[in-house]
């Protein structure tokens, strides 16, 4: 009897709850009905179901729409259910270590780079502070890969995956690894991981997806790619330029690296770059190497040596590895070419933007270095020597903090404006104020604002509004104006004297290389303002902070002083440059440059064979097809830091690898290509993990 009484009481309580529920939001004009089902067991073992139905009157209220849940298509189900991964999958250090141990460098070096590469154990390059062949590094080990997966705690319940049936080892995962279409080396990197992870556990599924370069770059910047291979071509030949981008800079931002981890890296970065003594810098960077190894935000892959081609009719091409691509002004072509006045380059990646303050990819940089010009430029093949360009000369104070440049006179922009000292000062001011970590402006911010002050927001709110224009705009207008005035006070033009004076926060050894690349390009101030750019006022600069290529008014137009002008850009197809007939210096020898975006290697190769292309992008694994076309070569001389004289090639044995593949002789060959081989590269790829995938 007591149980029956309890049932009645329970039903009354539930009925009361249901009546209360009638006061919640309902769809207008409908009757809200609540059904309560209670299951009980009587002594005899019979199951009795009690049902109470309560009808409420309609209420004239508005329906609250359900919040739409947005899923990332690269994460499968977006859950740890065997059919996807959660957005925080890679914030578990054991997952990152597992992926590192599952990569096979030997396959990449031998089969992809054909032995013309070595494993990168640290981020810095040979000869730089921080380069340490004794530093700890990951190597291919499937047993350790499995061990790390079993130590992971992806579902964050405090139980290691090896002992938890609901975690990654038993559940498995499915994730997409992306690469930019046409980059078969990155595709193969993904395939190596795909195969090894499946061997460790058949429930581990990596799907490989190629995206066109603009989409690939946009997805990076939107923090949507879970795991990717990202490359870096050094901006300046200095260790800081390797450690910063992969932690606190460009890629660190795209990885959504945790603030505490980023802070640890930043402390060491600031210490290292502020030191002058290479030995002291080396000791700091050794600590950095250890921290990078322990936290595994990325996995350095290999450092390759050069192996590039051009048609033998090409003359005067400067092979400087720090160039974004080809510098066209010095190039000419012999009469053997079907079209001696046009240079045709077939590439796999399209440009992102033509704004020098924002462009930070090699495809865009290639256009900038030919259309725009900088105060100083690289001296031929040297990565550490410079010659005047838009500056006729310069002086430096004894303490290394004040640089004064004499601006070249009589120079005109493509649109007709005259170059002035004010254009130079404005260009640098605009770049630093536009800032943002997806741009190269960190390279300029630190010399002017101070070590570690790598974005304009650092002197406003200690970086709290970095990459966030809306947050920046919420700051005190007086503080914003003061920041702009600080920048303007450090970069001062004197049009009467034709000089620009730069006052640095501290001596900065690599200042010349810092201003020699595309982000140091000089723009016409009046033209920029006329086309919707910053008006030069300290009351308005914040409105253009953190510009993206999609909104940037200068992403698709250009007006420089270079030997070539932008003729047109058909996105995804081609970029065409034409000779600047009013160039201030020695004019270009070519009339046109055609850069075609051709993702498929077969098409590029066919055009090279037909003589329709002067240079093409050749993936390492495709060299075996192109090498038999080599008729002469220039081998890099490490002792003299330059390519040697031309040698004829009379035999190519594709069963051999590297330089051994080519037999030099005195007899000229009728094969059409010239090979450049053996120069240590200034770029490398790193597998990167996204800590919080959006």
* Statement: residue 462 has pLDDT above 80: yes
Strands 342-347 vs 615-616: parallel, antiparallel or unpaired? parallel
Q: What is the pLDDT of residue 68?
A: 53
DSSP 376: E
What per-residue confidence (pLDDT) applies to 640? 81
CA distance 231 to 243: 13
Residues of 606-642 as b/e, b for ≥16 C-beta within 10 angstroms? ebbeeeebbbbbbbbbbbeebbebbbbbbbbeeeeee
Q: Determine the Cα–Cα distance for residues 614 and 346; give it in Å rounded to an integer.
A: 8
Beta bridge partners of 502: 403, 491
Which string of b and e fits 330-359 if b means at least 16 CB within 10 Å?
bbbbeeebeeeebbbbbbbbbbbbbbbbbb
Q: Has residue 613 got a pLDDT over 90?
A: yes
Closest to 124 (Cα-Cα) out of 687, 693, 686: 686
Average confidence (pLDDT) over 374-388: 92
515 or 279: whose pLDDT is higher? Answer: 515
User: What Å distances lie between residue 183 and 179, 186, 213, 356, CA to CA?
Assistant: 7, 6, 10, 25
**CA-based radius of gyration for the chain:** 30
Reported as a single tens digit per residue, the pLDDT across 264-277 is: 999 999 888 877 67
- 532: pLDDT strictly greater than 60: yes
Separation between Cα atoms, residue 622 and residue 274, nearest integer Å: 43
pLDDT in tens, 201-228: 999 999 999 999 889 988 998 999 999 9
Q: What is the pLDDT of residue 25?
A: 37
Model confidence band, residue 616 (pLDDT cutoffs 50, 70, 90): very high
Residue 311 has pLDDT above 70, yes or no: yes
> Residue 263: exposed, middle, or buried by beta-carbon count in 10 A (0-12, 13-18, 19+)?
exposed
Determine the Cα–Cα distance for residues 622 and 688; give it in Å rounded to an integer: 25
What pLDDT was estimated at residue 586? 96
**Binning pLDDT at 50, 70 and 90, where does residue 509 land?**
confident
Q: Going from the N-terminus, what domains does the chain have, and what CATH number goes with each?
A: 2-55 (no CATH), 74-302 (3.10.105.10), 354-590 (3.40.190.10)
Per-residue pLDDT tens over the stretch 158-173: 999 999 999 999 999 9
Measured between alpha carbons, how far is 155 from 685 in angstroms, rounded to an integer? 30
C-alpha to C-alpha distance for 580 and 319, rounded to whole angstroms:
23
Q: What is the pLDDT of residue 354?
A: 98
For the CA atoms of 552, 558, 562, 568, what is the dihedral angle to 10 degrees? 130
% of the chain beyond a pLDDT of 70: 90
Compute CA 357 distance to the chain's CA centroid, rounded to the nearest angstrom.
15
Confidence class of residue 110 from pLDDT cuts 50, 70 and 90? confident
- Identify the sign of the CA torsion 380, 385, 391, 393: negative
Q: Which residue has the higher pLDDT, 68 or 490?
A: 490
Tokens coding 673: 């290509």
pLDDT over 80 (residue 6): no
Q: How high is the pLDDT of residue 158?
A: 97
Using DSSP bridges, classify how beta strands 298-311 and 227-233 pair: parallel, antiparallel or unpaired: unpaired
**pLDDT per residue over 29-84, tens digit each?**
333 333 333 333 333 333 333 333 333 444 444 444 544 557 999 999 999 999 99
CB 297 within 8 A of CB 96: yes
Q: Which of 3-7, 31-35, 391-395, 539-543 has the lowest mean pLDDT?
A: 31-35
Residue 388 predicted with pLDDT over 90: yes
**pLDDT-based confidence at 94, cuts 50/70/90?**
very high
Which pLDDT score, from 0 to 100, does residue 681 have? 85
What whole-number distance in Å separates Cα of residue 532 and Cα of residue 534? Answer: 7
**Closest Cα partner for 672 from 599, 613, 597?**
613
Between the alpha carbon of residue 60 and those of residues 28, 29, 31, 33, 66, the distances in Å are 5, 7, 11, 16, 19
Q: How far apart are the first and last CA of the chain?
A: 58
Helix or strand (DSSP H, E) at 203: none
- 239-273 residue pLDDT tens: 889 998 899 888 888 899 999 999 999 999 988 88
Element (H, E) at 464: none
Q: Given a cut of 70, is residue 494 above it in pLDDT? A: yes
For the cut 60, the answer to whether the pLDDT of residue 23 exceeds it is no
pLDDT tens for 626-643 read 999 999 999 998 788 889
User: Which residues on neighbouring strands pair with residue 391, listed in sequence order?
Assistant: 407
- Mean pLDDT, residues 284-303 taken together: 96
- Round the average pLDDT of the chain to a whole number and report it: 89
Looking at residues 547-568, what average pLDDT do you find?
A: 97
Side-chain-side CA neighbours of 77 within 13 Å: the count stands at 11
Q: Which residues pair with 308 in a beta bridge?
A: 676
DSSP state of 627: G
User: What percent of the chain is modeled with pLDDT above 90?
Assistant: 75
Residue 15: the pLDDT is 42
User: What integer is the mean pLDDT of 314-329?
Assistant: 94
pLDDT at position 683 = 86
């Amino acid at each position: 009897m007591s149980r029956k009484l309890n049932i009645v009481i329970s039903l009354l309580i539930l009925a009361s709850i249901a009546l209360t529920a009638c006061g919640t939001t309902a769809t207008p004009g409908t009757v809200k009905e609540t059904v309560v089902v209670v299951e009980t067991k009587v002594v005899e073992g019979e199951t009795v179901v009690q049902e109470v139905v309560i009808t409420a009157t309609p209420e004239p209220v508005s329906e609250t729409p359900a919040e739409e849940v947005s899923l990332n298509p690269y994460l499968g189900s977006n859950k740890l259910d065997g059919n996807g991964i959660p957005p925080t999958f890679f914030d578990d250090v054991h997952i990152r270590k597992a992926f590192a141990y599952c990569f096979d460098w030997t396959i990449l070096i031998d089969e992809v780079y054909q032995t013309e590469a070595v494993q990168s154990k640290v981020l810095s390059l040979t000869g730089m502070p921080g380069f340490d062949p004794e530093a700890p590094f990951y190597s291919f080990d499937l047993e350790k890969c499995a061990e790390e997966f079993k130590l992971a705690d992806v579902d964050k319940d405090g139980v290691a995956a090896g002992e938890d049936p609901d975690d990654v080892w038993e559940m498995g995962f499915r994730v997409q690894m992306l690469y930019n279409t046409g980059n078969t080396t990155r595709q193969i990197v993904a395939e190596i991981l795909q195969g090894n992870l499946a061997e460790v556990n058949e429930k581990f599924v990596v799907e490989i997806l190629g995206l066109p370069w603009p989409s690939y770059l946009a997805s990076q910047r939107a923090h949507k790619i879970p795991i990717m291979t990202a490359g870096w071509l050094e901006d300046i030949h200095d260790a800081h330029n390797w450690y910063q981008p992969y932690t606190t800079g460009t890629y660190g931002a795209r990885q959504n690296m945790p603030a505490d981890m980023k802070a640890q890296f930043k402390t060491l970065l600031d210490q290292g770059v502020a030191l002058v003594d290479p030995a002291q810098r080396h000791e700091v960077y050794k600590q950095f190497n250890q921290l990078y190894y322990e936290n595994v935000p990325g996995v350095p892959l290999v450092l390759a040596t050069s192996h590039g081609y051009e048609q033998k009719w090409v003359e005067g091409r400067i092979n400087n590895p720090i160039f974004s691509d080809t510098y066209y002004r010095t190039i000419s072509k012999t009469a053997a070419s079907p079209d001696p006045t046009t240079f045709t380059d077939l590439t796999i990646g399209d440009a992102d933007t033509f704004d020098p303050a924002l462009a930070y990819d090699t495809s865009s940089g290639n256009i900038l270095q030919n259309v725009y010009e900088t105060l100083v430029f690289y001296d031929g093949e040297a990565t550490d020597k410079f010659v005047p360009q838009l500056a006729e000369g310069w002086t430096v104070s004894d303490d290394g903090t004040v640089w004064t440049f004499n601006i070249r006179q009589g120079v005109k922009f493509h649109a007709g404006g005259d170059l002035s000292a004010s254009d130079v000062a404005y260009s640098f001011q605009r770049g630093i104020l536009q800032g943002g970590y997806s741009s190269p402006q960190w390279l300029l911010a630190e010399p002017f604002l101070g070590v570690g002050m790598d974005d304009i927001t650092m002197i406003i709110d200690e970086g709290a509004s970095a990459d966030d224009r809306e947050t920046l705009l919420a700051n005190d207008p007086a503080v914003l104006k003061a920041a702009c005035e600080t920048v303007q006070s450090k970069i001062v033009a004197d049009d009467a004297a034709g000089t620009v004076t730069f006052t640095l926060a501290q001596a900065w050894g690599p200042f010349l290389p810092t201003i020699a690349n595309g982000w140091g390009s000089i723009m016409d101030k009046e033209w920029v303002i006329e086309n919707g750019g910053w008006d030069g006022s300290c009351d308005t600069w914040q409105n253009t902070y953190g510009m993206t290529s999609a909104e940037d008014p200068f992403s698709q137009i250009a007006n420089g002083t270079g030997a070539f002008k932008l003729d047109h850009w058909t996105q995804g197809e081609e970029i065409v440059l034409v000779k600047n007939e009013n160039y201030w210096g020695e004019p270009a020898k070519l009339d046109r440059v055609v850069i075609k975006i051709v993702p498929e290697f077969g098409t590029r190769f066919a055009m090279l064979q037909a003589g329709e292309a002067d240079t093409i992008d050749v993936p390492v694994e495709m060299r075996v097809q192109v090498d038999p076309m080599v008729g002469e070569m220039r081998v890099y001389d490490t002792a003299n830091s330059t390519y040697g004289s031309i040698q004829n090639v009379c035999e190519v044995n594709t069963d051999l690898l590297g330089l051994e593949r080519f037999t030099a002789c005195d007899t000229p060959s009728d094969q059409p290509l010239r090979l450049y081989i053996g120069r240590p590269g200034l770029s490398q790829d790193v597998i990167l993990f996204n800590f919080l995938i959006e």
